[in-house]
Amino acid sequence: MTLPPPAPSTPVPAAPAADGLFTWWHDADTRARRAFIAASLGWMLDSFDVMLYSLVLASLIQDPVLQLSTTVAGQLGALTLLAAAVGGVAFGVIADRIGRKRALMAAVLIYSIFTAACGLAQNVAQLAVFRILLGFGMGGEWATGVALVSETFPARHRGKALAFVQSSWAIGYGLAAAVNLVVMPLWGWRGVFFVGVLPALFTLWIRRKVEEPELWHRTAPEARGRISSLFTPNRARITVFIILMNACCLFGWWGLNLWVPAYLNLPVERGGVGLSSSTMSWFVIFMQVGMWLGYISFGYIADAIGRKRAYVTFVAMAALLLPLYGALREPWMLLLLGPAVSFFGTGYYSGFGAVIAELYPTSIRATAAGVGYNVGRIASAAAPFVVGSMAATQGFGVAFAITGAAFALAAVMWVGIPNTENKTLTA
């Protein structure tokens, strides 16, 4: 008996190759890479300019010309954040209407020029005006850069790409600390602010090399940048919870990061740890290592398990660590705990841009980023004042415990936000 011929075997599809650490970069085209560089450097230099204030804060408080009290210093920080909220919403709409590239250039120019202007201030009123104008530009950079990267990178790498963009904030903060370390002993706090004009040169590269995303070109001009579209019946609940969640996170972030340098630098009799300015700068630089690792790790974690689970884990850990950090006074313990506080207390922001990009269409993507990030910042603007006031009356332990409570509340707000994961974007 003749046996029938064997049936042809069905080829088994090969398993997708595992992503390497930098597969996200190799899979991107030239346009996406340039968009990434523009957003990363813009965010890094934004951090560099904005955080110069926190690094010279102790010197401003002790300056005999300005006569700045701890409370007024907190109020100036709050004014900057309020201006950033206005600028962030405005630039989100602008980026949707006239393009991400031109909006990014304008934001960088504004925050660079007025950072340098802070070095010219002769009184508190002048410093307040310059900080408000700086904040307006600062608020505009993030929403623009997030839209630019989200619309050019492959979907499965969006979280990782945005994580590396967000990580540039830690690099900028670290550079600011390094500038403070070198420039402060030579030219004082005014010289530190003057260095802040350098990012303006970066706009020349953006103008020559960066292209608008094809997705943005395909949107109907009349639909671009409409804030009302964020509050349609199918989006309103999500938008409200995103704003509330982000408000809590930003309150915690600014309450911590604006006051950490002063906490470390102020004398013991004023509630601080009593470190020298140079030692404080090294402590802050060390914390930025933890911040950078947190940003990067979050991107990989969020791409693997989804945005919601990663977010809640990070902010819950921040809620636990912050009160402990504020209760410590031993420098070596603060040095060891600082990177962990920064890891969990900042890393989650790597996921915010991806969440926004995957929940809103291209025509209002930058607008959604601007509103979601910056309306939440209005509430967070109270953080510098609240923490400063509590530090002055109750001590930094109580003040940082309040920031921890804000992170705990942020975790609760995720009940109203859907999980998203590597969604392909459409116009």
Question: Chunked in runs of 10, what are the mean pLDDT values of the chain (427 residues)?
Answer: 46 47 80 86 79 78 76 79 84 86 86 86 87 85 82 81 82 82 82 81 79 76 81 91 91 81 76 75 83 86 84 93 82 86 88 84 85 78 76 77 91 89 63
| Measured distance CA(339)–CA(173) in Å, rounded | 13
- For residues 74 and 396, is the Cβ–Cβ distance under 8 A? no
What phi-psi label fits residue 306: left (phi over 0), alpha (psi between -120 and 50 degrees) or beta? left
d(CA 28, CA 350): 19
Q: How far apart are CA 73 and CA 249, in angstroms?
A: 21
Q: Residue 39 half-sphere exposure, CB side, CA atoms within 13 Å?
A: 29
DSSP conformational letter for 219: S
| pLDDT confidence of residue 422 | 62
For residues 52 and 399, give the distance between their C-alpha atoms in angstroms, rounded to a whole number: 22
In total, the chain counts a number of residues equal to 427
Residues 6+ apart with CB under 8 A from 327: 397, 400
Q: What single letter denotes the amino acid at residue 272?
A: G
Q: Where are the domains of the chain?
A: 28-208+221-416
* Whole-angstrom distance, CA of residue 11 vs CA of residue 102: 50
So what's the pLDDT on residue 181? 82
Separation between Cα atoms, residue 199 and residue 96, nearest integer Å: 24
* pLDDT score, position 70: 74
Q: Which residues, 6 or more positions from 3, have their beta carbon under 8 angstroms from its beta carbon?
A: none
Q: Is the pTM of this model over 0.85?
A: no
Q: How far is CA 231 from CA 107, 128, 177, 236, 239, in A?
A: 26, 34, 41, 4, 7
Is the distance from CB of 170 to CB of 291 less than 8 angstroms?
yes
Please give the pLDDT value at position 318. Answer: 93
* Residue at token pair 């030239």: 30
Which tokens sit at 326? 């504020």
Task: State residue 408's pLDDT score.
Answer: 94
User: Tokens representing 414?
Assistant: 């995720």
Within 13 Å of residue 336, how many CA atoms lie on the same side as its CB? 6
**Three-state secondary-structure class, residue 270:** helix
Identity of residue 187? W
By the 10 Å C-beta count (0-12 exposed, 13-18 middle, 19+ buried), 222 is classed as exposed
* The domain over range 28-208+221-416 is classified in CATH as 1.20.1250.20: yes
The first and second tokens of residue 426, run together, are 């459409």
pLDDT of residue 12: 41
Interhelix angle 236-257/70-98, nearest 10 degrees? 140
Contacts of 357 (CB under 8 A, 6+ apart): 146, 147, 150, 151, 158, 162, 365, 369, 425
